[in-house]
Amino acid sequence: MKKIIILTILFSQVFAQGEWLSGTAYTLPQGRWEYGLFQPVRWGQSENREISFFKLSSLLMPNVTVKQRWPQKGEWTISTVHSFYYPTPLLKKLQSPLGMDIGGPNMFAMISPEFEIPH
């Protein structure tokens, strides 16, 4: 019985993959919106173009991603993904959020100080 349950769960996960997942070459149908807490907000602008952004990370680094699907050649579907990210002053705070107060400039830094954030 245990093997049947495990096999059922395994096969349901394997065959539950939809063609509109963000990691595939397919784009969302026109007008379709998808929301998720830890997933990007995705919008099918047209049958061949999808626009998405991450809600939670937009506070630290606003971003937008465009997926463009090109004309199909037989069975093949080809898409390209183009992204734009912009760092904010809030992102710079992660380089040394507590270190300056405690004493060490790099103590508890989530982003290494060797990287230059432009703000």
Residue 4 lies in a domain: no
Bridge partners (DSSP) of residue 33 are 43
Q: Are residues 79 and 37 in the same domain?
A: yes
pLDDT tens digits, one per residue of 7-57: 677 666 555 555 667 788 889 999 999 988 888 899 999 999 999 998 887
Residue 47 lies in a domain: yes
pLDDT tens digits, one per residue of 35-49: 888 888 999 999 999
Q: Are residues 95 and 42 in the same domain?
A: no
Rounded to the nearest angstrom, the gap between the alpha carbon of residue 43 and the centroid of all alpha carbons in its chain is 13
Task: Give CA–CA dist 73/22, Å, rounded.
Answer: 21
Containing domain of residue 97, as a range? 88-119
Q: Are residues 39 and 82 in the same domain?
A: yes
Q: Are residues 76 and 100 in the same domain?
A: no
- Structural domains of the chain, count: 2
Q: Are residues 51 and 105 in the same domain?
A: no
